[in-house]
Structure formats: structure tokens, C-alpha cells
Amino acid sequence: MLTWIEIIFFFFILALTVYGFFQPLYLRYKLVKIGKPENRFDNLPKRIINAVTSFFFLTCSLKKERIFTGLMHIFLLYGSLTFDTVSVNHILEGFNENWNFFGHGLIRNMHSAWADVFGIMVLVAVLYFTIRRWVVRPKYYTYPSYESFIIYTLLVTVTITFFIYEGAAIAFNPGHAYSAFIGKEIAAWMVATFGPIGATGVKINWWIHIINVFAFVIYVPRSKYLHMIFGPVNITFQSNQSTGFIKPLSLDMENAETFGVVHATDFTWKDLEDSFACIDCGRCDDYCPANRSEKPLSPKNLHLNLKKFLLKEKNILLKKEQGEPTPLMTGTYTEGEIWTCTTCGACMHVCPVKNEHIPKIIGLRQSQVLMESKFPTELATFFKNMETNSNPWGFGAATRAEWTEGLDIKTLAQDSNVDILFWVGCAGSFDERAKKVSQSVVKILKAANVNFGILGLEENCCGDQARRLGNEYMFQMLAQQNIETIKNYNIKKILVTCPHGYNTLKNDYPALAQQLGITDWNVEVVHHTEYIEQLLKEGKLTLKGKMSDSATYHDPCYLGRHNHIFDQPRSVLCKAGLSLKEMKNNHEHSFCCGAGGGLMWTEETLGKRINHLRTENALNAGSNLISTSCPFCMTMLEDGVKDNGKEEQIKVRDIAEIVSECL
């Protein structure tokens, strides 16, 4: 069909298209490579299978929070995959008009109809996204709309020029119609309007379609739609660790020149890849408690602003120009962003491409705290209390075990022959409200004849809050002492009431122990809701009394979303006779109480109070009993109930307190 001159011109624009597609990809690849090394290549076959499954079944988009939008993405995905084969076929038709990947039989018949169906679906999807972006326009659609305008325009022109070329080809040679029902209609219209279509008319429409396809190919890697390539790669290399895990810094911190993240090169390559994989869908903003309470943090912009920075300073970062890259806290990120994150993990849970927000924020906090001594002023007292008395409240370390008075609890120093260590934690030892939970747990353990003990004065703060506030030095100091104590007593099982302590002991301590050269660290960590449910299931604990009321349960972020403990607390409540009324946001979509990430110890001066939003969810559930399983959540919910003037009608109870009342 093409002349020699046209063939030469075709290969010229093909070469330009190939260069235009791969040049920005190669640039972004080089920018990703400047990040610190990190091993994400373990169990590679499983990783690839997971990514392929996620891509082809679009599990990344078909989340229950936006199922219709996910359906529209299916139209675009399979429309694009269909057009990939059609477009390659059309290119080859320029050299041989009878060429077809699928031959000229049944498969060709099916594919011709399939292509027309998905051509319509692509147009429907574009119409949907156009209305959503420019008419409805949710607040999380903040990215410059010109990118969407260009890509939507190209999707429409590629689809329409495909239909027109198909119609022209059928009008010229009706034998090529097969089951292309749209093409047949367009061919009939063309003949009726313009008369017989000649080879020149087919060729003109072929060129128009091919140029539109090439323009689309060139534009994609230069736009946010690069996520079509980087997204599956990002899913392949997602972390296999709990989302509550924080990678430890070097143990030799005193000789280190930098701590945490100052420049883009302090991020890992996976952190940098996240920025190019971001879809700008806004799901993370939807579910972020800081963003929902009108604070400066946008988890989405955490990645989009990093991408802008990398592309803006690419020449310096790639050593093509002299100079030092600008620190990230100078223009890219603000203190209002990094100090309003509760590290609840909602953003990471809903991200379709598995971007990792929390490690970046912790890294930025580490550099601010350890290198600049910049942090909210009220944290100065917190850090001092931790350093001098190993607890956030600043109570004398010698009073850590005073809550046990009259309870006849042995310490491991007195008798280390125990089946389980009850790790009381700072809240359970010093906070007046949380002490009642500790006492309830003791009552339960004794009722079940469990052989347990506590560390008493040998127990230090687990270091969770210090770590998530960026003070890695303090965390390591506290954690190393605790690890040494646990090893000395040869403890194999630890019971914890605080989800933050649970997460730290379960996920952070093993990695630190490995850094310390401890190769046989094998300590089972259980939360009290898990353990109580196990005791009830095994018949070791009997509830003599039952409550005949209803309750609503608040899932603590570090118990539920980060560590997937959802069913056990609910099972215990039901066994206690309570009927459950779920809040609007529950299970993996639970809304944070506002205390996580060390924010329990800061003043919430920006936007609305997060605990007020969560308390509103709880009150709307319609129960006079709010249950939880975290001392921080309990404090925040009780404060929220009091601020609503409902403390007389609504009670907040830990699950251990409820079970204790039923003994």
C-alpha cells in the first residue's frame, strides 16, 4: 500500500517515536538509580506473578471504595491492550493490506468485533473521566488538568481515527469487514456520502490513524500516565514487611555524617520509583486523617512533589551540572506536612500501585530531629522525659511497677520460669486510665491460670513513639536494652496490650536484633485481644456473666491495618454477649484516632481535631459503649466523647475491661 518514499518517511517517524518513548523512560530510570540500594528482588517469581495478576485483573483499581471508577479503568486497560494489537496490525497493513495477526478465520471474526466493542468502551470511559475531572471535580483532583486533557484527546482521536480507517478499509474492500459492526456502519455512511472509497482514501486515513497512535505513544512517558508502566513495576517490588515496619538506621550513629533523609539521594531507589508510579488518583488523600481534618499533609503530593523535584534538578542530580541539590525540606516539603502524619497507613493500604508513604515521612523526621533539632516545641519535654525516665510522662522510672500493688504479680527477677511475659508498656504502667486495663489483663490471666510474669523495673519504654517521631538514636538505645533483657531471660512469648508496642516488638525488634548479631531471635509477640480469644476458644477462660447490650468497636491502626488483627477483638466482644454495630469506617478502612506517629505528644493546632472526626463516627454507630484495644485510642475517644458532652451516656472501654467484668 505504501510507496518507497512513504516507507522511508514511515521509518523516520517510527524512529522518532521510539526515541520519544524511551528517552524519558531512560531519564527516569537514571533518576531512580541515584537512590540508595535496597534488596527488593527476593522471591522474584512470586512478585512478578502478583504484579501480572494485579495488572490484568485490575485488582489495584477495583477496590470497594471506588468500584465504578475501577470499572472504567478496565474499559481503558482492555481497550488499550486491544488497540495495541490493532495498531501494530494496521502498521503492517501499510506494507501488506492482507496481513492480519489472527489470520482470516474465526479468531479474526471475533477480534474485529472485540476491537469495536472496546473502542466504544474507551469512549465511554473517557466521557466518564472527563465529567468527573471537569464537571464533578472531587477535591483530590489537583494535578494540572492539561495532562488529562491531552491524554483524553489522544484517546478519543486514536479511537475515532481507528473507526474511520476501519470504515474506509471496509468500503474499499468489503471482504475485510468480518464482524466489525462499527466499521460496517461507517463504511456504509462513507459510500453513501462520498461515493466509492479508493486506495488513496484508505491510505490517507491510515496515515492519520498511525500519526495519532505515535503521538499517544510519545506523550505517555512524559505524563502522569507513566503509571501504566511504572505502576506494575512498583507492585512487583512492593515491601513484603508489615506496613508498620521501619527500617533501622546504622548502629554506628555516632560516626554517621547524615541521618534520615536530607536530599533525594538519601531515599532508596524504591522511594524514588514511587514518585513516578503515582497515579494522582487521590485515594490516599481520601483516607488520610490529616488531609480529611484539613491539615497541610497530602500523601499524594508527597510523591508528586518529589517527582517535580527530581525532574527540575535532574542535571545536578545526574552530575551534568555543578552544584549541590536543594535539600528536600527547602521548598519540596514543609514542617506542616511531615509533623501532621499519624503514620496510620491508610494511604499505603488504598494506594493502587503500592506506594510507600510512611518510610519517607519518618526519614524526613529523622533528619529534622537528629541533624537540625527541628521539631514541634512540645516534643522537647517528651524527648527529655524519655531520656531521663524512659517514659513519655516523665514519672520516675522507679515507680513503673507501682500499679501492681496488692495484685501479687511476680517479676522475672523473682522467678523467670514463666510461660509468657506480660509486657505492660508505658501507658499501662503510668497512665491512670490505662492502668485499669493492665489490672484487668492480670485478672484475666489469673482466672485462666496462666503462668506469667512482668519485668517490673527492668522494663523500658519499647521506643515506638521516639522512633516514629524521628529520634532513631533514642529508639535504638531503649530497644537494645530491652532486647538484652529479653535474651537474658530467654523469653519466648510476650503479651502486649498496646498495639504500638505490639508492632514494635513484633516487627522492629527482630530487624534490630539481627543488626546486633543475634541470629537466634525467636520471640512470639501476641496482643491481648488475640490471647483472650485463644483462652476463650480453648475453654481456659469462662465468662460467667454476659452483657446484653450493643457495642461499636474502633480498630486501632497499628493493630488492624498494620498487623491485620480484625476478627479476634470482635469475636471476644460477641462472646461477652455484646451485639456489634460497626462504625462507618471499620476494619482495614478504620479512621485513625489521631494519636499515632507520636502525635499523642503534640498539640493539634491545624485544622479540625482528628479524634473529633473519629468520635463522630463512633457516636453515629448508635451504641452507648465504644470498645477499643489501644490505650492511646481509648484516651482520644474518651476526650472526644467528653468534648461532645456525652460522657454520662457513652462509655469507652478496652476489651480487657469488658471481659474482666464478665468473669
CA distance 643 to 457: 36
Query: Which residues lie across from 553 on neighbouring strands?
Result: 627
* Residue entry with cell 465511554: 124
Q: Tell me the mean pLDDT in the region 578-592.
A: 95
Segment of 49-53, 127-131, 132-136, 234-238 carrying the highest mean pLDDT: 234-238
Chain centre distance of CA 582: 23
Q: Which domains does the chain have, with CATH numbers?
A: 43-236 (no CATH), 253-310+321-372 (1.10.1060.10), 379-537 (no CATH), 550-661 (3.40.50)
CA distance 502 to 520: 20
Closest CA to 431 of 638, 573, 641, 597: 638
Share of the chain above pLDDT 90, in %: 76
CA distance 257 to 262: 11
pLDDT digits (tens, 9 = 90+) for 310-337: 999 999 999 998 888 999 999 899 999 9
* Residue entry with cell 502478583: 50
CA distance 460 to 424: 10
Q: Which three cell numbers stand for residue 155?
A: 484517546
Q: Tell me the mean pLDDT in the region 397-410.
A: 94
Contact 517, 486 (CB under 8 A): no
Query: Which residues lie across from 627 on neighbouring strands?
Result: 553, 653
pLDDT at 142: 64
CA distance 496 to 428: 10
CA distances from 648 to 243, 346, 416, 623, 655 (A): 37, 32, 44, 13, 20
Burial class from Cβ neighbours inside 10 Å (0-12, 13-18, 19+) for residue 283 reads buried
Q: What is the mean pLDDT of the chain?
A: 92
pLDDT at 63: 63
Q: Which of 128-132, 182-186, 328-332, 379-383 has the lowest mean pLDDT?
A: 128-132
| pLDDT exceeds cutoff 70 at 140 | no
pLDDT at 129: 87
* Residue entry with cell 523512560: 25
DSSP state letters, 474-506: HHHHHHHHHHHHHHHTT--EEEES-HHHHHIII
pLDDT at 143: 58
pLDDT at 84: 76
CA distance 477 to 215: 57
CA distance 285 to 326: 26
pLDDT at 424: 97
Closest CA to 220 of 21, 356, 367, 353: 21
pLDDT at 62: 63
Closest CA to 560 of 503, 478, 484: 503
CA distance 296 to 301: 10
| pLDDT exceeds cutoff 60 at 209 | yes
More confidently predicted of 144 and 616: 616
Contact 233, 52 (CB under 8 A): no
Sign of CA dihedral 4, 10, 11, 12: positive
CA distance 129 to 319: 40
Query: Which residues lie across from 534 on neighbouring strands?
Result: none
pLDDT digits (tens, 9 = 90+) for 332-351: 999 999 999 999 999 999 99
CA distance 350 to 354: 8
Q: Which three cell numbers stand for residue 571?
A: 469475636
pLDDT tier for residue 65 given thresholds of 50, 70 and 90: low
Q: Which three cell numbers stand for residue 425?
A: 508498656
**115 φ, ψ (degrees, to nearest 5):** -60, -40
pLDDT at 64: 56
Segment of 149-158, 199-208, 426-435 carrying the highest mean pLDDT: 426-435
pLDDT tier for residue 572 given thresholds of 50, 70 and 90: very high
pLDDT tier for residue 399 given thresholds of 50, 70 and 90: very high
